[in-house]
C-alpha cells in the first residue's frame, strides 16, 4: 500500500532524476549521488542506508511498473544501478529511441551474443547481418554508425571489435532474455543472468567470470559448486 510507504523527499526525487538521465550508474557514483542529494536537501544521510533510500523510491515507482534495480558488471563484477520498466517485457522501451531496422539490428546482435560460446559477437559477424534485415537493409557504413550509438547509449559494450551486452541491457532485459532464449542461464553463484560466462562441461551450470574468480580464489583445486567435478575452464 503506497499510503504506508515512507515519504518521497526532494532528495529522493533528485536522485531518481539523475539516475534517469544516466540510464545506468556505477555503484560508487550512486553512493556519492545518495550523499549529495541528502546534503543538498538536508535529509538524514547514512552511508549504509542506500538500499533503504532506493527502497523508498521503489515503493513509489511500483504503481508505475518501474523499479531501480541493482546488477553486476560482467567484466569487473562491480555493482550498477538502473531504472527498469517492468511493464514492457519486449524491447519496447528502446522502440521510442530507434528506427525499426535499428532495433532489428540490435535484436540480431543480441541473438549472436547470447547464442555465442563466450558472450561476444565480432563486428564482422554483426555487419554481415546488416544487409539481411527484413525491415530495411542497412549499408555497412550505416550499421557501423548504429552500433556506435548502441555503445554510446549503453546497450552494447565494445572492446577490440568484439561486442557484448552492456550491464544496462542485462539489468533491464534480464526477464525478456530469460523467457525468450532457451540457452539463457542464470549464474550459479549470484543467480542473475550470465552472458559472459564459463560452463561446467559435466553438469552444464554457468558462472560469471567475476564470480568464477571470486569462487575459486580460495580453492587449491577448482571444482564445480554443483557437481564437484574438476572445473575445466581456465580461471580468469
For residue 95, being part of any structural domain is answered with: yes
pLDDT higher than threshold 70 for residue 143: yes
Span 14-70, pLDDT tens digits? 999 999 999 899 999 999 999 999 999 999 999 999 999 999 999 999 998 899 999
Listed residue (189, 190, 160, 195) closest to 177, CA to CA: 195
Report the 10 Å Cβ neighbour count for 24: 23
pLDDT higher than threshold 60 for residue 89: no
Q: Specify the pTM.
A: 0.86
Span 154-213, pLDDT tens digits? 999 999 999 999 999 999 899 889 989 999 999 999 999 999 999 999 999 999 999 999
Domain identity same for 201 and 147: no
Domain CATH for 134 = 1.10.10.10
Domains: count for the chain: 3
For residue 216, being part of any structural domain is answered with: yes
Domain CATH for 40 = 3.90.1150.220
Show which of 119, 141, 173 is a domain's final residue: 173
Separation CA 198–CA 232 (nearest Å):
9
Range among 88-92, 97-101, 111-115 rated most confident: 111-115
In percent, the amount of the chain with pLDDT more than 70 equals 95
Q: Which domain holds residue 17?
A: 10-64
Domain identity same for 150 and 107: yes
Domain CATH for 228 = 3.30.40.10
For residue 15, being part of any structural domain is answered with: yes
Separation CA 174–CA 111 (nearest Å):
14
Grid cell digits, residue 20: 534517469
For residue 188, being part of any structural domain is answered with: no
3-state secondary structure 74-132: CCCCCEEEEEEECCCCCCHHHHCCCCHHHHHHHHHHHHHHHHCCCCCEEHHHHHHHHHH
Amino acid at each position: 500500500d503506497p499510503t504506508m510507504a515512507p515519504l518521497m523527499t526532494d532528495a529522493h526525487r533528485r536522485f531518481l532524476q539523475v539516475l534517469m538521465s544516466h540510464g545506468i550508474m556505477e555503484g560508487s557514483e550512486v553512493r556519492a549521488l545518495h550523499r549529495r542529494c541528502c546534503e543538498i536537501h538536508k535529509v538524514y544521510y547514512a552511508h549504509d542506508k542506500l538500499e533503504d533510500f532506493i527502497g523508498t523510491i521503489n515503493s513509489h515507482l511500483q504503481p508505475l511498473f518501474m523499479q531501480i534495480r541493482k546488477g553486476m558488471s560482467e567484466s569487473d563484477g562491480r555493482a550498477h544501478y538502473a531504472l527498469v520498466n517492468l511493464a514492457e517485457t519486449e524491447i519496447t522501451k528502446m522502440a521510442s529511441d530507434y528506427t525499426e531496422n535499428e532495433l532489428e539490428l540490435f535484436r540480431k546482435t543480441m541473438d549472436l551474443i547470447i547464442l555465442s560460446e563466450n558472450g561476444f559477437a565480432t563486428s564482422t559477424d554483426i555487419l554481415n547481418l546488416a544487409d539481411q534485415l527484413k525491415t530495411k537493409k542497412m549499408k555497412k557504413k550505416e550499421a557501423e554508425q548504429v552500433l556506435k550509438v548502441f555503445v554510446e547509449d549503453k546497450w552494447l559494450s565494445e572492446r577490440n571489435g568484439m561486442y557484448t551486452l552492456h550491464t544496462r541491457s542485462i539489468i533491464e532485459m534480464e526477464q525478456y532474455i530469460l523467457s525468450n532464449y532457451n540457452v539463457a542461464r542464470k549464474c550459479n553463484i549470484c543467480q542473475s543472468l550470465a552472458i559472459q560466462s564459463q560452463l561446467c562441461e559435466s553438469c552444464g551450470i554457468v558462472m560469471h567470470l567475476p564470480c568464477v574468480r571470486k569462487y575459486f580464489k580460495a580453492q587449491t583445486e577448482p571444482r564445480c559448486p554443483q557437481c564437484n567435478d574438476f572445473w575445466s575452464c581456465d580461471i580468469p
